[in-house]
Structure 1
Amino acid sequence: MDNSQIRQVKVNSVAYKTICTHAYTSENEEIAGLLAGEVSSDRNWHIKLAIPLARLFKAKDRVEISDNQLIETMQMVQTEGLKMNMPKLRIVGWYHSHPHISVWPSHVDLQTQATYQLMDRDFIGLIVSVFSRTQNSDIPEISELCAFQDDKRAGVYYTVEILEDFNNTINGFNQLNTIPRLLLQEANTDLPISDNSVDKDQYPISQGSQVLNKVDDDFVIREYDALYKMLSKNYVSGCVLLPMRNIYQKWVLSLRDQVENLKLRLEQTN
């Protein structure tokens, strides 16, 4: 692969906020979504939308999205691109999180990326490393953002720039607002213990009670699933509000700094 093929990956600021908010909703498992944008003639990416997607399963070291979701999202982006007067808008990559670990892609990430590149050689991967904590603060910080492609199971990396794009803000926030609904969807369908997966040694009804041992297994499973869903929904409420608050606080502070810098420059010119 010619490293000069892609010089830079430019990410719309609202798309960046969507990726970070989505990543902060899951501290113990990876999340994933797709990236919509354009590829310029000089091989630079411009990511305009980040589209969060439901996971096929939850795991701390890998994540997968279904082929059906990929196809449906491609069709949706094509339709939205025409509405936005952006006929070249298409799916150009995917993103996922690395909670508590480094930003660099694993061999599984590179395998997944290689598969996507068979479909589209311009496909890019984006990884956000989250839930790293500094020595002076207990607040999780976004440590790094990595853009990469695969070249014979070796990573090829590109610089990432975050851009303000006020013309695309509304469409970006529409994707950001899908995250709570997506998490509730996962909570409603996520059944960690099913009829075929109950390990009675790991989840004994009772070690010493003959009465509890006679409780119907199906009833226990149904009650467990109902409780799990309720706790998951409560978790969704908490884990979405906190990261969104942190991100918007940082955004406001950044905008204030920009305003102060502009004021200073105006004073100097006068």
Structure 2
Amino acid sequence: MISENYLKRVNLTADVYAVCVQHALTTEKQEIMGLLIGEVDEKERVSNISACVILHRSDKQPDRVEISPEQLCTASMHAEQLAKKLNKPMRVLGWYHSHPHITVWPSHVDIRTQSVYQTMDPLFVGLIFSVFQYDTRNHKNQIQVTCFQAYQNGSELERREIALTVKASSFQNYNLEGIANLTKILIQEEIDSHETQDNDIQDELTCLHNDAFKTLALVHIVSKVARPLCDDLEERKRSVNQRIKELEHLKTELSKD
């Protein structure tokens, strides 16, 4: 039976949606993860998500993600800093992760994980972004997203889909900072992963082989993630500057009247 404390709706700002999608598209071999921050209307049971934290993966897996207590604590501290900066209540409201090449629906592991989070906060929510799903009719990759909570149905845990609305918004500085740091996080993940492997290896030839693969991975991150991100940010900058010029011209014209 579904509890009356379930979440009714989630409003997600467009810039957070963009960050989550960009993060999900960085790899089609493993799942990525992050935490969602915003404010919640306890009375109406509505979450308004306006920021996110991209998490560093200590163990990259193709079919699961794990968020440590330390990462939850760090995200909570980030939410507190945002609350002071924006002068409004902000807290960790949920988590997101990707499903590359598979359906958007949560697995049994996802639902169990979501259930654990809801024991701490009944309004905690999960988002899943399905990426690299090829649509044979339109001949292009699809991106799908689902928003869900878990509930107990007899002896079984099941998912409950939550209404999700993406709200139009401009890129906030704190979300721009998050997406700008994405490349650094991905590079550090690769370095940590290869250092862990090298610690268990004494053979110099094997170490050299692993270093070559690490270099390839870092080059891939720079070429496939960092450069497109820079190009996108440059294009946004040009668009904003153009808009500023148009507004200044409009101001001048209005001043003449």
* TM-score normalised by length of structure 2: 0.80
Letter in 2 for 1:180: T
Deviation, 1:242, is 7.7
Which 4+ runs in 1 deviate beyond 4 A? 136-139, 241-248
**Counterpart contact for 1:49–1:175, Cα < 8 Å:** no
* Alignment match of 1:154 (pick from 154, 158, 179): 158
Superposed CA deviations along residues 199-222 of structure 1, whole A, max 9, x for unmatched, are xxxxxxxxxxxxxxxxxx521232
Structure 1 SS opposite 2:11? strand
Is residue 111 of structure 2 the alignment partner of residue 110 of structure 1? Answer: yes
Query: How far does the alpha carbon of each residue in 1:142-183 deviate from its partner, in whole angstroms, 9 at most, with x for none?
Result: 1x21111111210011111111234x6222212121211110
The one-letter amino acid of 1:100's match is: H
User: Which structure has the larger Rg?
Assistant: 1
Tell me the residue number matched to 1:268: none
TM-fit CA distance, 1:123: 0.9
* Unaligned ranges ≥5, structure 2: 237-257
Report Cα offsets for 1:82-129 as digits up to 9, x if no partner.
11222x111000000000111100011011111111221211000000
2:185 aligned with 1:222: no
* Paired letter, 1:53: L
Contact 1:131–1:141 (Cα < 8 Å) also in 2: yes
Give the structure 2 partner of residue 145 of structure 1: 145
Q: Give the 5 Å matches for 1:101-250.
A: 101-135=102-136, 139-142=140-143, 144-152=144-152, 153-166=157-170, 169-191=172-194, 193-194=197-198, 196=200, 217-241=202-226, 244=229
Query: Residues 130 and 5 (structure 1 numbering): CA distance in 2 closer, same or farther, change over 3 Å?
Result: same
After TM superposition, give the deviation of residue 55 of structure 1 in Å.
Answer: 1.1
CA offset at residue 5 of structure 1? 3.3
CA distance in 2, matches of 1:186, 1:155: 31
Partners of 1:20 and 1:5 lie apart in 2 by 26
Question: Is 1:80 the counterpart of 2:95 in the alignment?
Answer: no
Q: How many angstroms does 1:77 deviate by? A: 1.4
1:59 aligned to 40, 46, 61, which one? 61
Against the structure 1 CA distance between its residues 247 and 128, is the aligned structure 2 distance closer, same or farther, given a 3 Å change threshold? Answer: farther
Q: Secondary structure of the equivalent of 2:213? A: helix
Secondary structure, aligned partner of 1:189 = helix
State the percentage of identical aligned residues: 31
The answer (yes or no) to whether the contact 1:56–1:65 under 8 Å persists in 2 is: no
Q: How far apart, in 2, do the equivalents of 1:103 and 1:3 lie?
A: 26
Distance 1:234 1:56 in 2: 20
Aligned residues: 227
**Conserved in 2, the CA contact under 8 Å of 1:28 and 1:99?**
yes
Change (3 A) 1:139 1:238: farther
Alignment gaps of 5+ in structure 1: 199-216, 252-270
Work out whether residues 58 and 189 of structure 2, in 8 Å CA contact, stay in contact via their aligned partners in 1. Answer: no
Name the structure with the higher strand share: 2
The answer to whether the 8 Å contact 1:25/1:243 transfers is: no
2:78 partner SS = helix
The structure-2 alpha-carbon separation of the partners of 1:240 and 1:135, relative to structure 1 and needing over 3 Å to count, comes to: same
Change in CA separation of 1:46 and 1:55 when aligned onto 2, cut-off 3 Å: same
Aligned residues: CA RMSD: 2.4
Conservation of the 8 A alpha-carbon contact between 1:56 and 1:66: no
Change beyond 3 A, Cα 1:233–1:242: same
